[in-house]
Amino acid sequence: MQQNTPTIEQLRARIDGIDDQIVALLNERSRVVLEVGRLKSGSNMDFHVPGRERQIYERLLNVNPGPFPNDALRSVYREIISASLSLESPMKVAFLGPKATFSHLATMQQFGLSAELVPLKSIPAVFEEVEKEKALYGVVPVENSTEGVISHTLDMFVDSGLKITAEILLEVHHDLLSRTGRLEDVKKVYSHVQPIAQCRQWLEDNLPGIPVVDVASTAVAAQIVSEDYSAAAIASELAATLYDLKVVRSRIEDQVNNFTRFLVVSRKGCERSGNDKTSVLFSVKDEPGILFRMLEPFAKRGINLSKIESRPFKKKAWEYIFFLDLFGHSSDPQVAEALEELRLCCQFLKILGSYPRSM
Ligand SMILES: C=C(O[C@@H]1C=C(C(=O)O)C=C[C@H]1O)C(=O)O
């Protein structure tokens, strides 16, 4: 028995052999992706197809027998696809900056490390960059599971012609960062209002009486703290790397399961992936029973709604617009019929996009 046990050297030689095969296969895959790219450009199709990517992830996570973990498989494939796309041309993606914000993390999670990421100062600036064709995609936050919707993003869709082509769900963790890494050195805490609200209890329990200052973003907080040894920032782990800070305490958020949802916008819509969501924006006529009638087309077809949000219509006092997310693609016959029926009780209706459901 004993003499059959392979040595570390033998096992490492096997790993080297497997790695050679992986490299050869990655190159073979890249050549096929480039071939698909040539076919697409011949027929004027988009090179990047998020729906197809979702199908790839879904299939691989289903066939993976382990022990290689599914989360890791997803990350590996995100980079494989990101690098394959960049062989054709690097994809430019604008996001709500500065660097190291949660929008930055969400953008990296969706597009991988080979995309060219451009931080911008505001949500309107992200929309404009895409509208003016300076970026192919834009990433903006739309809601947080503990703090609710980011109304600024929803309001942008009223006038913008951009389409939603993907959603990103990011699990949000907040870390306390400082130059020294020691809790006893912290005499002031900086962060954005939302993370401050999300860590309120932790701050009271661990830093009672220490002043907390809200600034424009977690990244600005990290930047201030990088020059002040007596201050700490509530920010992401990525901010620690970018601003050369130490982690005083990690995951200080009061609520576990804290997610932020981001939307990816672009100038073109997205093909059906088979597991999609559709977002619409509309304003209804002021009539009795209208709220019932606007939901009826979906209820009677068994179409699931995942969200409904109303916002004041800024162009007319006391009128409201609704944002509705439903499961299905606008090209699904049932969804298309329901939307046509909804249109009958609307002053206006705009389909903001159909896109693959986040996984
Ligand atoms: C190869 C394709 O083009 C792109 C690259 C993909 C990949 O690397 O697998 C998947 C979808 C597209 O974004 C395709 O559409 O099949």
Co-location of 183 and 164 in the same domain: no
Spacing, Cα 306 to ligand 1 middle (Å): 28
Answer yes or no: is pLDDT of 1 > 60.
Answer: no
Q: What is the pLDDT of residue 2?
A: 56
This model of the complex carries an ipTM of 0.97
Co-location of 23 and 76 in the same domain: yes
In a domain, 254, yes or no: no
Q: What is the pLDDT of residue 112?
A: 94
Co-location of 65 and 100 in the same domain: no
Co-location of 119 and 190 in the same domain: no
Atom of ligand 1 nearest to the CA of 40: 15
* Residues 6+ away with beta carbon under 8 Å from 237: 173, 175, 247, 250
More confident residue, 320 or 111: 111
Kindly state the tokens that stand for 102.
């949660």
Q: Is 11 helix (H, G, I), strand (E, B) or coil?
A: helix
Q: What is the pLDDT of residue 3?
A: 66
Share of the chain above pLDDT 90, in %: 77
Instruction: Dump pLDDT digits (tens) for 129-174.
Output: 999 999 999 999 999 887 788 888 999 999 999 999 999 999 989 9
61, 115 Cβ separation under 8 angstroms: no
Task: Give the whole-angstrom CA distance, residue 148 versus residue 133.
Answer: 31
In a domain, 233, yes or no: yes
Q: By alpha-carbon position, which residue is closest to atom 7 of ligand 1?
A: 81
**Number of structural domains found in the chain:** 4
Q: By alpha-carbon position, which residue is closest to atom 9 of ligand 1?
A: 81
Answer yes or no: is pLDDT of 100 > 70.
Answer: yes
Spacing, Cα 235 to ligand 1 middle (Å): 34
For the chain, the average pLDDT equals 93
**Torsions phi, psi for 352 (to 5 deg):** -80, -15
Task: Look up the domain containing 336 and give its range.
Answer: 276-356
Q: Which residues line ligand 1 (CB under 6 A)?
A: 33, 36, 47-49, 52-53, 56, 81, 84-85
Instruction: Dump pLDDT digits (tens) for 309-352.
Output: 998 887 777 788 999 999 999 999 999 999 999 999 898 999 99
Instruction: Dump pLDDT digits (tens) for 265-296.
Output: 999 998 898 999 999 999 987 888 888 999 99
Spacing, Cα 74 to ligand 1 middle (Å): 15
Co-location of 69 and 119 in the same domain: no
Share of the chain above pLDDT 70, in %: 99
